Amino acid sequence: MLKACLNGGRGRDEHSAVPLTPAELAADAARCAAAGAAAVHVHPRDATGAESLEPEPVAAAVTAIRAARPGLPVGVSTGSWIEEDPVSRVATVRAWTVLPDFASVNVHEEGAEAVARALHERGVGVEAGLWTPAAVEGYRRWRVPVVRLLIECMTQDRERALADAAAMLDLVPSGVQVLLHAEGAAVWPVLAEAVGRGLATRIGLEDTVRLPDGSPAPDNAALVRAARGLGAR
């Protein structure tokens, strides 16, 4: 599976094509799906442009994307930088009025399993975000089902990212879908590694603003097409 990560915490000061509003996310999601993305991951924004887990921004983004591209799976982030208090994070998830298909939960964050449980109880697929081997070990103690594991290489160094990926993949239990990806300069080497291993992966302006040859990416759809050209499906 190739997932398009449309915006993350990136702003227009970093790339002019970053989608922020529900209408922009919807149009971009449709373009990425047409280019070959099988799902999208978005960070809804509130009226000030800040990332938000609140029911209204989540509902607006998810609803707009589903209207623009019916059937395209839509996921959101529950990162602690969006809502620091884990109790509030759980309460906010329980207050969602429109449910995404899946949501990522970073295992190393305080209260992560409680957030994952709240998502699962509401019928939202849980993606367990794993940044380190210690996080993989932490996930193995969870009692909440997940739809996939996100092996996320957070270093910008290519060789270190590939080594981190190998170390984490060695610890992953069998029988769970794995999505492998990186950020910044390590994006394309790690994406190629994911393709070579037959794993799901992702690409988009959240992770990089450059194409494999180092040139600026015009938009998310161009990144999806480049990933498809490298064999991502």
Bridge partners of residue 174, in order along the sequence? none
Helix, strand, coil percentages (3-state) for the chain, rounded to 5, are 40, 20, 40
| H or E element that contains 39 | strand 39-42
Q: In 3-state terms, what secondary structure has residue 233?
A: coil
Q: Give the pLDDT of residue 233.
A: 82
Alpha carbon 189 to its chain's center: 18
pLDDT at 54: 98
- Amino acid (one-letter) located at 11: G
Tokens representing 25 are 């996310």
Bridge partners for 74 per DSSP: 40
Alpha-carbon torsion (51, 105, 32, 95), positive or negative: negative
CATH of the domain at 24: 3.20.20.70
Tell me if residue 68 falls in helix, strand or coil: helix
Q: Which residues of the chain have pLDDT under 50?
A: none
What is the pLDDT at residue 61? Answer: 98
pLDDT (0 to 100) of residue 66: 98
The pair phi, psi for residue 15, each rounded to 5°, is -160, 130
Q: Is there a contact between 79 and 106 (Cβ–Cβ < 8 Å)?
A: yes
pTM of the model: 0.97
User: What are 64's two structure tokens?
Assistant: 């707009």
Tens-place pLDDT, residues 166-179: 999 999 998 999 99
Give the total number of structural domains in the chain.
Answer: 1
**104: part of which helix (H) or strand (E)?**
strand 102-106
**Residue ranges making up the domain that contains 94:** 2-229
What is the predicted pLDDT for the residue at 151? 98
Which amino acid, one-letter code, is at 207? D
Strand order in the sheet with 39-42: 177-182, 148-153, 125-130, 102-106, 74-77, 39-42, 2-5, 201-203
Q: DSSP for 127-196?
A: EEEE-SHHHHHHHTT--S--SEEEEEE--S-HHHHHHHHHHHHTTPPTTSEEEEEE-GGGHHHHHHHHHH
